[in-house]
Amino acid sequence: MYTGNGIKKVLLVSVLVVIAAMLLSGCSGKKEEKSGQQNVKNDDNLVYLVQTPPPNMLEQLKAKEIDGFIAWEPFGTTAINAGDGKYLFKSPDIWEDHPCCVLAVSQSFKDSKTIEAVTWAHIKAVRFINDPNNKEKVLNYAAEFTGKNPEIVSEALKNITYVEYPAKDEFKEYYNSLEEGKLLKKSVTDIGFADGEKFFDGFLQDSVYKSIADKLDKDPNWKPSSVPGNIKFRIGYLNADLHQLPIYVAEKEGYYRNVGLVAGRTLETKTYQNGVAVMEAFKVKDIDMAYLGGAPATLKRINDDIPIEVVAGANNEGSGLVVRSDLGINTVEDLKGKTIAVPGVGTVQYTLLEKALREKGLRPVIK
């Protein structure tokens, strides 16, 4: 009663605000679950999604904040190796030959000699990786490239299929899923193509690949003429992304050097954190070619009309859904009511998960 009105009011209001905030936030984990269950009552086929960068997924799974995640290698294998989870499915189980990383070129980059040389080095690298005789060497390269220990890398490599060119039909399927999911803000006609078929003819530019592959099939030792020594060619890739191993192999095995691409002189490599950043780099003409995910490539190609073409593939598949092993999740149906982390809306992994869920009549909602 003595304390001044002001002070008393401050205390009172602070206490009220704290209580209100605690209530609103559902401070205890239990409450959260409850409200989750109430939602389930309305529609009990829901699976909750949260968007999270893959490195953070590992921490979240360990802390049991999420019940599972879908990401590319080596994140799945890392979590399993750490004893935090198990594979519920790998990408070929859901969608065989689904596209993943690609090698793309900016449409404003017109130097066909260099494009040929880079594509050649890439194909040589993919063939090197896929040659069973090189298993040991590839493993070492992969461990160096990602900085992960060889055990994890060797497990992870089993889940990745390195390819020379992605399957066009699977790319179209991905495109269709984007359209259904309302992820496309523009249609292909908005960016100057008559229809989807014409768009893919332009976007998936396999003529360079085909001519190189032809020549290599006839003579495995064929190589294109070297690039002139005065060029400055810039290529981007994602840091330590196992899917993009070919760029590391091409450098280490000397394929780039064979065609006159010398790092630091004619060749400049740039690393990026994610495919979106790579696409922005294409937009501002920071790079001429780059390795990146097929998803950001397609999304930003259409939505932001960033003119690029896919000249080669890097890998198909190579993703998987990891779930906590202590929850008794054995089938996709068991994911009902669970929380799964995805790298982002519109990613190939998101599309994969959505496909798997819909097949079982489950509906993903973003938390």
Partner 1 sequence: MGLFNYTPAEKLNGQTAARPGKRFGNSYFRGFSIVSFLLGWQLLVSFRLLELPSPFETAIVFLDLVVHGDPLYNKTLPEIVWSSLRIVVQACLISILIAVPLGVLMGAVEWFRHYVDAMLEMLRPIPPLAWIPLAYVIFANAGRPTEYVQIFVVFVGAFFPILLDTIHGISMVNRIHVEAARTMGASRKQVLTQIMLPGSLPSIFNGIRVGFGVGWMCIVAAEFVGGKLGIGYYIWSSYSVGGRVAEIISGVIAIGLVGTVMNRFILFLEKRLVPWR
Partner 2 sequence: MALILRGVTHQFGDAKVLENLDLQVEEGCFCCVVGPSGCGKSTLLRIIAGLYQPIGGEVLLDDAPPSLEKGEIGFVFQEDALFPWYTVEQNIKFGLKARNFDKEMWDDIIQYNLEKVGLAEYKRYYPRQLSGGMKQRVAIARVLAYNPKLLLMDEPFASLDSINRNMLQADLIDLWSREKKTIIFVTHNIDEAVFLAERVVIMGHKPGRIKRIVDIDLPRPRNRTDSNFCRTRRSILEIIES
Residues in contact with partner 1 by CB under 8 A are: 3-7, 9-10, 13-14, 17-18, 21, 24-25, 29, 50-53, 56-57, 59-60, 62-65, 181-186, 274, 276, 279, 296, 299-300, 302-304, 341, 344-346, 365-367
Smallest distance from partner 2 to CB 66, Å: 49
The owner of tokens 């079982």 is: 360
Smallest distance from partner 1 to CB 291, Å: 18
Tell me the torsion sign for CA atoms 154, 65, 54, 171: positive
Smallest distance from partner 2 to CB 83, Å: 59
Work out whether 6 is an interface residue with partner 2 (CB under 8 A). Answer: yes
Work out whether 7 is an interface residue with partner 2 (CB under 8 A). Answer: yes
- For residue 282, give the H/E element and its range: helix 275-283
Whether residue 303 contacts residue 326, with contact meaning beta carbons closer than 8 Å, is answered with no
Cα–Cα dist 24/22, whole Å: 6
173 φ, ψ to 5°? -65, -40
Q: With CB cut-offs between 5 and 8 Å by kind, which of partner 2, partner 1, none does residue 14 bind? A: partner 1
Smallest distance from partner 2 to CB 7, Å: 7
Q: What is the DSSP string of 103-154?
A: EEEETT---HHHHHHHHHHHHHHHHHHH-GGGHHHHHHHHHHHH---HHHHH
Work out whether 2 is an interface residue with partner 2 (CB under 8 A). Answer: yes
Q: Which residues have CB under 8 Å from 25's CB, separation 6+?
A: none
Work out whether 13 is an interface residue with partner 2 (CB under 8 A). Answer: no
Tell me whether residue 1 or residue 284 sits nearer to partner 2 (CB atom).
1
Smallest distance from partner 2 to CB 343, Å: 54
Contact stretch for partner 2 (CB under 8 A) within 2-10, 182-190, 294-302, 352-360? 2-10
Tell me whether residue 7 or residue 63 sits nearer to partner 2 (CB atom).
7
Nearest 10 degrees: Cα torsion 314, 317, 323, 329: 180
Smallest distance from partner 1 to CB 366, Å: 5
Cα–Cα dist 227/260, whole Å: 5
Structure tokens at 2: 């003595």
Per-residue contact flags (x/-) with partner 2 for residues 66 to 105, judged by CB under 8 A: ----------------------------------------
Work out whether 4 is an interface residue with partner 2 (CB under 8 A). Answer: yes
Smallest distance from partner 2 to CB 12, Å: 15
Q: Which residues have CB under 8 Å from 253's CB, separation 6+?
A: 124, 125, 128
User: Residue type at 344?
Assistant: G
Contact stretch for partner 2 (CB under 8 A) within 5-13, 49-57, 127-135, 346-354? 5-13
Tell me whether residue 5 or residue 207 sits nearer to partner 2 (CB atom).
5
- CA-nearest of 302, 114, 285, 305 to 208 is 114
Contacts with partner 2, residue ranges (CB under 8 A): 2, 4-7
